Amino acid sequence: MKKKQSNCFSKKIFLNIFLVFLALSFASCGKKVSFQNSSIVPAARGQVTIKKDNNKNYFIKIKIDNLAEVKRLESSKNAYVVWIETDESLTKNIGQIQSDTKFISSKLKASFETVTAFKPTKIFITAEDNADTQYPRSQVILETEKF
């Protein structure tokens, strides 16, 4: 009789551990969105991952391949700037894209990570004269659809 009770108890513990693991794996998943094809930099391909943390902030991670150097664009600029459109219809500058500078990395790769309190509904990148500009003034290089 004791063996049967301990076997049942073990199954319950295993089931609870499994359910906790399953819940954590779903909670850690973020939304992945791809950038649309660009007419300005047609070879550029990128993906955005957005995760909401426990403080209701949004962690945004961007990876881009085949992004031409900003100075090589037809209308030479100084910085790629990342923008979000929020659920309140605001447009916010959330930072500047930096090229990867690893030893084996291609200069055509770029990445970006930030945390924001604003809920993004769309993300886009422009080439600007100044990285700290408050409004997008240039053509959109890459953009996502609204999500």
Residue type, 39: S
Rounded average pLDDT per 10-residue block, the chain, 147 residues: 62 75 59 94 96 95 94 90 95 89 66 96 96 92 94
Residue found by looking up tokens 């291609």 in the block: 106
CATH number for the segment(s) 31-143: 2.60.40
In the β-sheet with 91-96, what is the strand arrangement from edge to edge?
Answer: 91-96, 79-86, 120-128, 140-143
State the Cα–Cα distance between residues 125 and 94, nearest whole angstrom. 10
pLDDT at res. 15 = 75
Distance CA 131, CA 112 (A): 14
Which helix (H) or strand (E) segment holds residue 24: the answer is helix 2-27
| Contact between residue 138 and residue 127 where contact means Cβ atoms under 8 Å apart | yes
Domain borders along the chain are 31-143
- Would you say 123 and 141 are in contact if contact means Cβ atoms under 8 Å apart? no
Q: What are phi and psi of 139, to 5 degrees?
A: -65, 150
What length is written for the chain?
Answer: 147
Structure tokens belonging to residue 124: 């886009």
Q: Mind listing the pLDDT tens digit for each residue in 57-99?
A: 999 999 999 999 898 888 889 999 999 999 999 999 999 998 6
| The predicted structure's pLDDT at residue 147 | 87
CB of 31 within 8 A of CB of 50? yes
